[in-house]
């Protein structure tokens, strides 16, 4: 009887294996194959390294692809202020971590995990030059696992260089990351987005108190300061895409375009301090750098 049963289910087992292999193949081809990573391909966990960097500004890690097409990246991160900030921008730039160049690819992702995790982001297959240094840039409200390049209050030892082809913006240290690539042809870079602080409403060099005057001036019927010529700065109330969501330029708290609340949202952050204020889920902090697409 056992032999009869085994013969009966054997075709089903074969079918299941074929289906699973097909699913696995589709997933692998969607994200490509693992290309660049730290030596030993460390796990993403709170105790992988003693170092780390937490920020609301962009953090950067260099990498050198070996394949002609970049398909996906991963960063070992821990979200901060999780209830309001599950969204992240990930850019691929030319240049170096210390001196980043133009953006050649960008995407936005959310996370539903409030713990250390591989933040996975896929790109439209991007044509790159094998051996040419690129920069992975992550923006959001988060911490990123980092090797120790010196002994300090967080690190009681110095880690070996786990990625000789590149480094992070912290000299001698590497963020925990992975990239995926493909031998299939990719597309050339598209038009880069405007990368700016969410509260920098006049698109000047940096967000300051003058930005708070812009929504107030409009409410008072007074002309706001002129925007820099050729800056690509959106007009107040113009529809923009941030973290993959439709927002209005000037609606700093992402709740409603209101002169007082948006001005206060700018002023509470203008000194570079994070003072909590009410804002919508996945709404950037006023001082946070984001990709703005019009």
Instruction: Give mean pLDDT, residues 31-52.
Output: 94
Decide if 173 contacts 146 (C-beta within 8 A): yes
E strand intervals along the chain: 33-37, 51-55, 59-63, 69-79, 87-95, 100-110, 117-127, 134-139, 142-146, 177-182, 194-197, 239-242, 245-248, 289-292
Concatenating the DSSP letter of every residue in 8-24 gives HHHHHHHHHHHHHHHHH
DSSP symbol at 175: B
- Euclidean distance between CA atoms 89 and 107, whole angstroms: 6
| Confidence band of 219 (pLDDT split at 50, 70, 90) | low
| Confidence band of 191 (pLDDT split at 50, 70, 90) | confident
pLDDT tens for 244-282 read 889 999 999 998 888 888 888 888 777 656 566 778 878
pLDDT at 102: 93
- Euclidean distance between CA atoms 206 and 211, whole angstroms: 10
Decide if 179 contacts 36 (C-beta within 8 A): yes
| Confidence band of 132 (pLDDT split at 50, 70, 90) | very high
pTM, entire model: 0.74
pLDDT at 56: 66
CATH of 33-182, one of 2.60.40, 2.60.120, 3.40.190, 3.90.25: 2.60.120
Report residue 122: phi and psi, to 5°.
Answer: -105, 145
Residues of the chain with CATH 2.60.120: 33-182
- Strands 134-139 and 289-292, bridge-based pairing: unpaired
């Amino acid at each position: 009887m056992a032999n009869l049963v085994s013969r009966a289910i054997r075709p089903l087992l074969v079918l299941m294996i074929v289906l699973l292999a097909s699913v696995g193949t589709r997933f692998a081809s969607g994200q490509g194959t693992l290309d660049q990573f730290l030596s030993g391909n460390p796990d993403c966990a709170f105790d992988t390294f003693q170092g780390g960097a937490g920020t609301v500004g962009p953090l950067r890690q260099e990498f050198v692809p070996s394949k002609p097409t970049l398909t996906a990246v991963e960063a070992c991160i821990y979200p901060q202020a999780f209830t309001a900030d599950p969204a992240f921008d990930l850019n691929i730039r030319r240049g170096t971590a210390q001196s980043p160049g133009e953006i050649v690819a960008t995407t936005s992702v959310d996370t539903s995990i409030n713990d250390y995790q591989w933040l996975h982001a896929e790109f439209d297959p991007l044509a790159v030059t094998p051996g040419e240094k690129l920069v992975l840039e992550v923006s959001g409200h988060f911490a990123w696992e980092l090797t120790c390049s010196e002994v300090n209050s967080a690190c009681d030892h110095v880690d070996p260089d786990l990625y000789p082809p590149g480094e992070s913006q912290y000299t001698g240290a590497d963020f925990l990351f992975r990239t995926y690539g493909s031998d299939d042809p990719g597309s050339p870079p598209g038009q880069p987005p405007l990368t700016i602080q969410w509260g920098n409403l006049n698109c000047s060099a940096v967000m300051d108190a003058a930005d708070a005057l812009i929504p107030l001036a409009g409410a008072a019927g007074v002309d706001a300061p002129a925007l820099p010529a050729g800056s690509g700065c959106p007009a107040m109330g113009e529809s923009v895409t941030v973290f993959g969501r439709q927002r209005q330029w000037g609606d700093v708290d992402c709740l409603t375009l209101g002169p007082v609340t948006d001005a206060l949202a700018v002023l509470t952050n203008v000194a570079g301090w994070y003072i909590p204020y009410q804002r919508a889920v996945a709404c950037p902090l006023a001082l946070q750098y984001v990709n703005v697409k019009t």
